[in-house]
Structure 1
């Protein structure tokens, strides 16, 4: 292993590989998916308008995405104010890209926004949209992490 490889393995930013970017994206996707699915379920179950359902899903995706990051940062001993700043810096772009992709996909699938909780189209469109969001967001996260941005700011706090 070269010095460069060792540096990258231990949190250096220039050698951020696809595996590290995918892991960061998966971490972000976990929080986003919880919020996104919960928002879609609540919006659909209560008969909210499509726009309201999407807004609720996006808001909850950000809340759960940030909360998941903050949980780990707070465990490291950071203050709440510090954890909020780190979560905002680490996840904002990643969550925004994911939300743009997954909501665009769901809206683009004919009938998905009108599907009910018991319909395969409801769940299938969510799974497809989140999978595509992961694929699109991973290179974005890698690019950011290689520059010391995004999820790279969290690595010193886990």
Structure 2
């Protein structure tokens, strides 16, 4: 009997304390959507205007956070939260996810030879940027799974849907 009691406790913990991979993937795709919109927009604007690498990356990262937060902000506002509460939820839900995604994606762009000098018309520009998103998604999904399983990250936003 003690073995069954332990097993039941384990099942209870997994059912209530963990997060499914499906939920983690959905949360990461949500984050990736906002990040990608902001990042691509920032890279396109900075590159088209002939800005240097640092200002272009700063703009891209700032826009990635802005668009990432905005997607959650709009969703929880539609669910009835006031603006102040919605901002707190968006910050709690997305900050770590966006930060990990941006760190990985920008590291890949920075470390890929020639990517920082590539222009909008170069395949290297787009393949590095999109490849960085894929790697960032793969790395960020387990982070989101871990956070959601502990009631953090996107779990905060899901409580308001």
Taking structure 1 as the reference length, the TM-score comes to 0.92
Q: Displacement, 1:15?
A: 3.0
Pairwise CA RMSD of aligned residues?
1.5
Structure 1 residue 60 and structure 2 residue 52: aligned?
A: no
User: For each residue in 1:9-46, what CA deviation from the matched residue of structure 2 results, as whole angstroms up to 9, or x when unmatched?
Assistant: xxx4x131111101100000000000000010011001
Which of 89, 93, 96 is matched with 1:93 structurally? 96
Provide structure 1 residue ranges, at least 5 long, that are not aligned to the other structure.
Answer: none
Q: Tell me, in whole angstroms, the C-alpha distance in 1 between the residues paired with 2:159 and 2:91.
A: 15
Structure 1 residue 19 and structure 2 residue 22: aligned?
A: yes
Q: How many residues align?
A: 151
Q: Tell me, in whole angstroms, the C-alpha distance in 2 between the residues paired with 1:41 and 1:114.
A: 13
Query: Secondary structure of the residue that 1:77 maps to in structure 2?
Result: coil
Which of 116, 119, 122 is matched with 1:119 structurally? 122
Provide structure 2 residue ranges, at least 5 long, that are not aligned to the other structure.
Answer: 1-7
Q: Tell me, in whole angstroms, the C-alpha distance in 2 between the residues paired with 1:35 and 1:73.
A: 20
Q: Tell me, in whole angstroms, the C-alpha distance in 2 between the residues paired with 1:140 and 1:117.
A: 31
Q: Which residue of 1 aligns with 2:35?
A: 32
Retained in 1: the 8 A contact 2:18–2:148?
no
Q: Tell me, in whole angstroms, the C-alpha distance in 2 between the residues paired with 1:133 and 1:69.
A: 19
Retained in 1: the 8 A contact 2:43–2:57?
yes
Q: Tell me, in whole angstroms, the C-alpha distance in 2 between the residues paired with 1:124 and 1:152.
A: 32
Structure 1 runs (4+) greater than 2 angstroms displaced: none
Q: Tell me, in whole angstroms, the C-alpha distance in 1 between the residues paired with 2:18 and 2:110.
A: 37
